[in-house]
Structure 1
Amino acid sequence: MNPVDPVALTADLIRCRSVTPADDGAIGLLEDLLGSAGFTCSRVDRGGIANLFARWGEGRNGRSFGFNGHTDVVPVGDEAAWSADPFGAEIRDGVMYGRGATDMKSGVAAFAAAAIDFVRATPPDGSIVLAITGDEEGVATDGTIAILDWMAANGESIDACLVGEPTCPDHMGEMIKIGRRGSMTAHFVATGRQGHSAYPHRALNPLPAMARLMDRLASHVLDTGTAHFDASTLAITTIDTGNPANNVIPAATRATVNIRFNDAHSSASITELLQTEAERIADETGVRVDMKVQVSGESFLTAPGELSDLVAASVTAETGLVPVLSTSGGTSDARFIKDHCPVVEFGLVGKTMHQVDECVPVAQIEQLKAIYGRILRGYFGG
């Protein structure tokens, strides 16, 4: 049979207007393709989100290797600013344009094509799992998490996993992600007593208290980095009073900080630090300070070893580059998978993801498929 063309498959997926949480047929397209190639496909839809679990092999005998990715994309923004139809998959001068071209319909197409070609040519002694979700760009509660919940309930597991997110900053093959920083957001409300600005002694102004708290937090050095991670960061992202009157001391003000933390911390330890500072400010000023935290994910690390060595060797064989093992960047669905098996991430150059005129050289898609195929051959000894 002819090899699966990852470029054509990428184009077919881009033409699905799967702006999160919509699917527009993307998951069904993959289900049909994989099912016709002999994969056992299970729809794991939850909360209105389309998800797909596809397995080749018995699953409970021999080693299993998994790929994870998503078909949902972010909104296109101002469509008039695009030089091509964001859902047209136009190829111009060897470059494909469209929303999801890099993040990450090309990655899904590459690993689906590589997996199909591999099992046709060299049926492995083990199983290959593709976990594909429609909820990564959104709240991410009914996507990969739903698939993992379904796997646990149905006795399914994987021994190693590769997430096909774009990982390379500038050149194909230069970076593999072996971990990610944790991410959490803290929402503060400082409450005082409203009053006339001409009589500040009759009011209790929450603004100086909040300003002091933000200064304390921004000045605090969380750490100086660890063996595999850069220093943790805390960024003030909003300060909002919503006071239209310049002669009124407001009753309350709000602020938000986002923390990206390494493996020297947990969300619990960061929460304790923030709460301690908030209570200290309240004691100093008499202003009540309330805090709520939202944790997007804990930090994690897949220590360099068998999995990262295999991926790195495959990348070098196809690109000639020796990839850096990195933990930089934001979060991904690898943060959910890390509790189930070793996981690394490798994919395309991500310079245009989420931008107007998101695009990918078609040669990179073909090269990515070749890398994924080499990883499968190395993992199963083919």
Structure 2
Amino acid sequence: MEPELVDALSLAQELIRAPSVTPDSGGAIGVLGDALRRLGFDVIDLPFGDGAERTPNLFARLGMSGPHLCFAGHTDVVPPGNEGWTSGPFDAAVRGDVLYGRGACDMKGGIAAFVSAVARHLGGGRPLNGSVSLLITGDEEGPATYGTVKVLEWMAANGQIPDFCLVGEPTNPDHMGDVIKIGRRGSLNARIVVHGIQGHVAYPHRADNPVHRLMAILSDVTAHPLDKGSEWFEPSSVQVTSVDVGNEATNIIPGRASARLNIRFNDRHTGKELAHWITEIVRARAPGAEIDIRVSGEAFLTPPTPQLDMLVAAVQQVTGHEPRLDTGGGTSDARFISRYCPVAEFGLVGASMHKVNEHVSVADLRALTDIYAAFIERLMG
């Protein structure tokens, strides 16, 4: 039986109507699994975690030969908020050739476009000279503990690592065809707590002011740029995000002061090296201070590959624009995938993601489907 065609708009609406506010699956994983089964995919549900942390995930594959292309994404969305929506955030309303709803561009629309592209390829009578899989998690907008990381471990243990992975995050800032992301900066968060001795400001010799030592630490950390950037990355950035004392009085030296900072770092650094650098500064200024440092992702870069060239060509074919290869923005699950195989990101225009009235034009949804279909054809047509 010839596989049925899948309309990207209809599937995107069906996915949006499943209210999968992280960590609640909202039925979205099930909607996607049913659509893939109808196309002939072997679909495996892979929930990980226990209790409130239990995370719905899905791995589906069609074909077993190479090349193996994996599409990665997430069905969970951020909370919609309560005010300002011109229609219900999960109504998936279409007005004036625009689809509105939480997840429309980030990233249920991208998932729908990819499934539609695969269905088109299969329905066009072209052989699938390779295999296609999907790695979908319900925990990208949350802590990402039991999502993509765990599915990748399962894939590695079961011989399912792809030759190339395409992440469908909304990468285009303004227009379709603007940007393909080929890397991301790393991210480090640090919390520093300096303890002192509380006392009266008129008798400083009887107290030990922790604010002064914390200010010295922050001054050392921010005094000089970490680097000037690299070939593909902008300069690393240190940003102090919070300084807290909790002192409402004007005549008390506080006994405790804390700060938080974030470093978005390029490929000239590792999280381990930066953690050591911060620790040395803190120990020099305040030996007894508490330090909690967490690295949520390392910087990574996908060098030029034949698959990346095919993706660029597919974008040019459909949009007429040569996409810029970029490494900016925040983190994504590509940081985990990069440990296993080459990965790039390309999806919809992301200007409205996480906002009230999140939306995508139906024309862009169709264009993304065309791009994904052209990429599949170039890779395994």
Fold match by TM threshold 0.5: yes
- Partner amino acid, structure 1, of 2:280: T
Identity between Structure 1 and Structure 2 (%): 48
Measured against aligned partners, the alpha-carbon deviations of 1:221-262 in whole angstroms (never above 9, x if no partner) come to 100000000000010001111223332211111100000000
Say whether the 8 Å CA contact 1:34–1:116 is kept in structure 2: no
Q: Which residue of 2 aligns with 1:19?
A: 21
Q: Secondary structure at the match of 1:187?
A: strand
Q: Which residue of 2 aligns with 1:316?
A: 316
5 Å-filtered alignment, 1:339-350, equals 339-350=339-350
Which of 163, 166, 170 is 2:170 aligned to? 166
* Whole-angstrom distance in 2 between the partners of 1:202 and 1:208: 15
Q: Which residue of 2 aligns with 1:244?
A: 248
* Whole-angstrom distance in 1 between the partners of 2:122 and 2:207: 73
- Partner amino acid, structure 1, of 2:109: S
TM-score by length of 2: 0.96
Q: Which residue of 1 aligns with 2:367?
A: 367
Q: Which residue of 2 aligns with 1:258?
A: 262
Which of 50, 55, 61 is 1:55 aligned to? 61
* Whole-angstrom distance in 2 between the partners of 1:298 and 1:80: 37
* Whole-angstrom distance in 2 between the partners of 1:175 and 1:14: 25
Say whether the 8 Å CA contact 1:112–1:130 is kept in structure 2: no
Residue 354 of structure 2 is aligned to residue 354 of structure 1 = yes
Pairwise CA distance, 1:149: 1.4
Q: Which residue of 1 aligns with 2:9?
A: 7
Residue 151 of structure 2 is aligned to residue 147 of structure 1 = yes
Q: Secondary structure at the match of 1:81?
A: coil
Q: Secondary structure at the match of 2:289?
A: strand
Pairwise CA distance, 1:2: 5.0
Q: Which residue of 2 aligns with 1:76?
A: 80
Q: Secondary structure at the match of 2:322?
A: coil
* Whole-angstrom distance in 1 between the partners of 2:219 and 2:376: 51
Pairwise CA distance, 1:306: 1.3
5 Å-filtered alignment, 1:22-171, equals 22-47=24-49, 48-58=54-64, 61-77=65-81, 79-121=82-124, 122-171=126-175
* Whole-angstrom distance in 1 between the partners of 2:95 and 2:341: 40
* Whole-angstrom distance in 2 between the partners of 1:198 and 1:9: 69
* Whole-angstrom distance in 1 between the partners of 2:173 and 2:149: 27
* Whole-angstrom distance in 1 between the partners of 2:326 and 2:195: 42
Pairwise CA distance, 1:188: 0.4
Task: Give the RMSD, CA atoms, in angstroms.
Answer: 1.2
Pairwise CA distance, 1:307: 2.2
* Whole-angstrom distance in 1 between the partners of 2:66 and 2:172: 32
Any gaps of 5 or more consecutive residues in structure 1? none
Say whether the 8 Å CA contact 1:307–1:344 is kept in structure 2: no
- Partner amino acid, structure 2, of 1:106: G
Pairwise CA distance, 1:278: 1.1
Off by >6 Å, runs of 4+ in structure 1: none
How many residues were matched structurally? 374
Q: Which deviates more, 217-226 or 310-319?
A: 217-226
Q: Secondary structure at the match of 1:80?
A: coil
Q: Secondary structure at the match of 1:330?
A: coil
- Partner amino acid, structure 2, of 1:45: P
Q: Which residue of 1 aligns with 2:281?
A: 277
- Partner amino acid, structure 2, of 1:30: L
Q: Which deviates more, 314-323 or 138-147?
A: 138-147
Say whether the 8 Å CA contact 2:97–2:361 is kept in structure 1: yes
Which of 194, 197, 200 is 2:198 aligned to? 194
